[in-house]
Amino acid sequence: MPRAHRKKSHGKHRRPRSLAVTWRTTGGVVVGAAVLGTAAATAQASVLPFGPAPVRSAAAADLAPGLTAPGAPSSRPSGHKPASAAPKAPKRERSARPSPRATGEPSGEAAAKSRPTAAQAIRLARSQVGIEEDGAGETKFQEWYMSTSRARETLARDGGSLDGYSDANWCDMFVSWVGEQIGFGDQIGSDAWTIAHARWFAEHGRWGTEPRPGAIVFYAWDGGKSFDDIQHVGMVVEEIDDGTIEAVEGNTDNAVRVKERSKDSVVGYGYPDYRS
């Protein structure tokens, strides 16, 4: 099983061995062949393709006030354990979302107004505080990720088995889950490997050092500032003072928690294009 699937404390994610040749031979960042191929030709930086656009899948009870997911199946409660040790059967993959033109969805100014705000993303993330791993180290966030087509993409990139995600580090799966529930996965991104997720923001010109509310924050506990130093991820709630931020994080003490962190441990921030 590759390193990306091994359970570690504090949500650490290390670079899988299977990626070493890929990074060297391409001379650039690879975040799934099906993902970045179209990004280079995309003229509008406000739309960032990260695999197929997500379909909302959470029950209304999982969402923060003001957010809905009509007709979506509910996620498994975090305390539920599998009936047997046999590998889980993959759930039906979500298909790629048709273009707004094909579905009659809003575009231009109307589409901008339909984007979620940072406050909505934070509200949803905070609504999950207290959800803990079950005795097998599993949560609904890992189960959700395993059901997505994105999981197959990252599996092809990183190696391992789909079932390996079931008890793997889930801080990044939590952030990805939040993006999917508010229909903003193309901006928040979807991944299980923090380093690749951070590089994706940088490749699309949405990386910086300012702790904006709703930004995706990437940490290195040893104070390192390179992408390869990244070990953990969360969502910024607010800047407390010049040296401290507050963030919502998954896989923190084996649960979703709100934490105050020193900026010394921050590598950088990814910026979804929220509605103002």
Averaged pLDDT, 223-237: 98
Q: Does the structure show a pLDDT above 60 at 123?
A: yes
List, for residues 50-62, the tens digit of each pLDDT value. 444 444 433 333 4
Report d(CA 26, CA 95) in Å as an integer. 28
Per the model's pLDDT, the better-predicted residue between 52 and 246 turns out to be 246
- Looking at residue 114, what is its pLDDT? 85
- Range with lowest mean pLDDT among 53-57, 82-86, 131-135, 148-152: 82-86
What is the overall mean pLDDT for the chain? 74
Give the DSSP per-residue string, 60-104: GGGSPTT---TTPPPPPPTT---SSSSPPPPPPPPPPPPPHHHHT
The tokens for 29 are 């960042």
pTM of the model: 0.66
User: What pLDDT shows up at residue 83?
Assistant: 33
| pLDDT of the residue at 99 | 36
Crossing angle between the packed helical segments 118-127 and 171-181, to the nearest 10 degrees: 120
CA gap 12, 212 in Å, rounded: 23
Over 60: is that where the pLDDT of 276 sits?
yes
What gap in Å lies between CA 115 and CA 202, rounded to an integer? Answer: 21
E-strand ranges in 96-186 read none
Instruction: Work out the pLDDT band at 111, boundaries 50, 70, 90.
Output: low
Tens-place pLDDT, residues 171-180: 999 999 999 9
- The per-residue pLDDT for 259 is 98
